């Protein structure tokens, strides 16, 4: 039987976090989601992340790891989405800046409202320990995206969203970098698909180094702001 939710986590040099995923990720997901699979998609790690992911896949049923070659963030998500079997697909960050237990809130909202996408929004919830520079960057990006694509939603860029799989799988993934998450949300909105938000908390990573390149992501966001065609 296919799982209700496919949880997808793209990874790049996350060995420090992956070492504790059994307790920090899998246990809260089991409590939050009645039926799920967990798909790790490695983007070319060189720190032993892949070995830890394969170890998890061997120890826990329903866990798989996709790896091999050098992949971009976009390609990592594309291949994981293609492999996903769930009715819903949940994107999460490898640094666990969002609490896996909050997956229950996103799923409950999708079931209750019939939403095609449910966003976990720290702008409706809160931020804890996030560096000032990161907080400023994410606030500015989301403000500009709201002005351009609609003020009703607050969380365009955060990678903690639950999608209806049959909707998501019809879309082309075109944007590179973390701005891809905003691109997908914009495509949902442009098609008139129902999008809602629930409040969640975003926390600073506890281990490993951030992969966010501020200059590159700013450029990617500007490209989205200037883009006219989201039909693909």
Mean pLDDT, the chain cut into blocks of 10 residues (232 residues total): 95 92 96 97 90 93 87 89 98 95 98 98 95 88 94 94 98 91 96 98 78 70 90 87
For the chain, the 3-state helix, strand and coil shares in percent, each to the nearest 5, are 40, 20, 35
pLDDT at residue number 206 = 78
The pLDDT value given to residue 37: 98
Domain containing 57 equals 5-226
**Span between the terminal Cα atoms of the chain, in Å:** 31
Residue 131: the pLDDT is: 86
**pTM, 2 dp:** 0.94
User: Which pLDDT score is estimated for 14?
Assistant: 92
- What residues contact residue 26 under an 8 Å CB cut-off, 6+ apart? 38, 56, 60, 63
Domain at 140, CATH number: 3.90.550.10
Sign of CA dihedral 3, 81, 204, 57: positive
Residue 232 falls inside a structural domain = no
Please indicate, yes or no, if residue 120 is contained in any of the structural domains.
Answer: yes
Cα dist. 167→101, 115, 180, 194, 209 in Å?
24, 11, 16, 11, 33
Is 231 among the domain residues? no
The number of domains in the chain is 1
Contact 187, 180 (CB under 8 A): no
With respect to residue 177, please indicate whether it lies within any of the assigned structural domains.
yes
The two structure tokens encoding residue 1: 């039987």
**29 part of a folded domain:** yes
On whether residue 220 sits in a domain, the answer given is yes
Specify if 64 maps to a domain. yes
* 202 within a domain of the structure (yes/no): yes
pLDDT attached to residue 209: 61
């Amino acid at each position: 039987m296919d799982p209700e939710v496919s949880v997808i986590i793209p990874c790049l040099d996350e060995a420090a976090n992956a070492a504790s995923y059994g307790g920090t990720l899998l246990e809260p997901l089991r409590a939050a989601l009645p039926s799920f699979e967990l798909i790790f998609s490695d983007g070319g790690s060189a720190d032993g992340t892949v070995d830890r992911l394969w170890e998890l896949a061997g120890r826990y049923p329903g866990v798989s790891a996709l790896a091999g070659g050098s992949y971009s963030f976009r390609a990592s998500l594309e291949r994981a989405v293609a492999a996903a079997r769930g009715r819903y697909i949940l994107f999460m960050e490898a640094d666990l800046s969002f609490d896996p237990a909050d997956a229950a809130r996103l799923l409950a909202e999708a079931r209750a409202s019939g939403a095609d996408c449910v966003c976990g929004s720290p702008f409706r919830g809160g931020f804890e320990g996030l560096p000032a520079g990161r907080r400023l960057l994410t606030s500015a990006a989301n403000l500009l995206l709201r002005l351009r694509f609609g003020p009703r939603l607050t969380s365009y860029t955060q990678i903690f969203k639950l999608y209806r799989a049959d909707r998501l799988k019809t879309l082309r993934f075109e944007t590179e970098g973390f701005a891809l998450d905003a691109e997908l949300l914009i495509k949902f909105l442009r098609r008139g698909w129902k999008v809602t938000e629930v409040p969640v908390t975003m926390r600073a990573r506890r281990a490993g180094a951030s992969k966010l390149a501020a200059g590159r992501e700013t450029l990617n966001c500007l490209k989205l702001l200037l883009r006219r065609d989201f039909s693909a």
